[in-house]
Amino acid sequence: NWNWTHRDPDYLPPEIDTTKPSIARVYDAFLGGKDNFAVDRAVATEGMRHFPDRGEGARNNRAMLFRGVKYMAEQGIDQFLDIGSGLPTMDNTHSVAQRINPAAKVVYVDNDPIVLAHARAILQTDERTRVITADLREPEVILDHPEVDGFLDFSRPIGLLLVAVVHHLADAEDPNGLVDTYKARLAPGSYMQLTHFCSCAPEMRELEAVLLQMLGTGRARDMPEIVRFFDGLDLVEPGVVHVPEWRPEEPVSHPLDLGGVCVAGGIGRKA
C-alpha cells in the first residue's frame, strides 16, 4: 500500500533507502523543499559549498520547465510525457498544462520510487494524470507501458519532457542514442523540451565532481553536446540557451550569475 501519507508519519516504504542520497531528494533539497533526508542535504550543502548559487540553478531550471510546458500547451499540445519528473512540488507539469487546456493529459515517469509514493497521494484524484516508476535507459519499457501507450496517443503530437534528467546518464550509457529513440517515436508536430547541466562556468566542474563522488551521477556537458540532443528537430526560438534566457517573462539581468549559467536547454519541434 503506497498510500503512506495516511499512516504513521515515521513510516517509510521499504523501497525508500534513507541511508543513500537520491537524485530526486537532493534536487528537492536544492529547491528548498521538505521531501529530503540528512543524507540528501549533505550532498546539497557540499555542492553549494563548491557552487554557491543558493539553489538558483535548480529554481531557474524548474521555472523554464513551466515556461516550456506553457508554450507547448499554447501551441496545442494536449498530452505530455514527463520523464525524470522529480518530486511533485508547488507547481507541476499537469497543473501548468491544464491551466491552458483543462483536458491536457500528463504521464510522469521517474525511476525513484519516492516520486511515485508522493505523486500517487497528490494525483490520485486527477483522471488526466498517470505516474509510473520506470527508467529512462529502458525506452521500450516506458514507450510500450500500458499507462503510457494506452493513455497517450502516439499518432498525435506529444510534448516530451527530458528536463534536468539526461545529465544523469553517463557517456557509456549512450545518452544520444537514448534521446534519439524517444524522438523517433514522436508524431510530426511533437515537441521535445530538454535541459542539461552546462559546463560553461569553471565552477561547474567542481559541482560535477561533488555530485559524481557523493551521488554517483551528474555530468556537465558543453553547449555543442547539449545542442546535439536536438538533432533532427527544428529548434524553437531562441534555440538552446542558458535557461533564464529561454523566453523569459521578466527582464533578465546580465551577466548571468552561476545559477544562471549552470543549466542550458531549449525546445525542438518535429517537422
H/E stretch holding 218: none
Out of 21, 23, 106, 197, which residue is the one contacting ligand SAM (CB under 6 A)?
23
117 binds ligand SAM (CB under 6 A): no
- Residue span binding ligand SAM (CB under 6 A) among the ranges 2-10, 109-117, 148-156, 238-246: 109-117
Residue 125 burial class via C-beta count within 10 angstroms: exposed 0-12, middle 13-18, buried 19 and up? exposed
In one-letter notation, the amino acid at residue 223 is M
- Helix 113-123 to helix 23-30 angle (10° resolution) is 60
Query: Which three cell numbers mark 121?
Result: 497521494
Rounded Cα–Cα distance for residues 7 and 19 (Å): 21
Name the residue nearer to ligand SAM (CB basis): 61 or 129.
61
* Nearest approach, Cβ of residue 49 and ligand SAM (Å): 19
* Nearest approach, Cβ of residue 109 and ligand SAM (Å): 6
Contact between 260 and 242 (Cβ < 8 Å): yes
Name the residue nearer to ligand SAM (CB basis): 63 or 156.
63
Rounded Cα–Cα distance for residues 263 and 197 (Å): 4
Which residue matches cell numbers 520510487?
Answer: 113
Please give the C-alpha separations between residue 11 and each of 81, 96, 248, in angstroms, as whole numbers. 31, 31, 42
* Nearest approach, Cβ of residue 165 and ligand SAM (Å): 4
Out of 40, 112, 208, 245, which residue is the one contacting ligand SAM (CB under 6 A)?
112
* Nearest approach, Cβ of residue 189 and ligand SAM (Å): 23
Contact between 77 and 100 (Cβ < 8 Å): no
Residues 125 to 164 in contact with ligand SAM, rule: CB under 6 A: 135-137, 163-164
Residues 48 to 107 in contact with ligand SAM, rule: CB under 6 A: 61-62, 65, 84-86
Out of 94, 118, 168, 221, which residue is the one contacting ligand SAM (CB under 6 A)?
168
* Nearest approach, Cβ of residue 8 and ligand SAM (Å): 25
Name the residue nearer to ligand SAM (CB basis): 36 or 98.
36
Residue 9's contacts (CB-CB under 8 Å, 6 or more residues apart) are: none
Contact between 3 and 121 (Cβ < 8 Å): yes
The radius of gyration of the chain's CA atoms, rounded to the nearest angstrom, is: 18
Which residue is closest to ligand SAM by CB? 86
Q: Mask of contacts with ligand SAM, 185-214, x by CB under 6 A? A: ------------------------------
* Residues in touch with ligand SAM (CB under 6 A): 23-24, 27, 61-62, 65, 84-86, 110-112, 115, 135-137, 163-165, 168
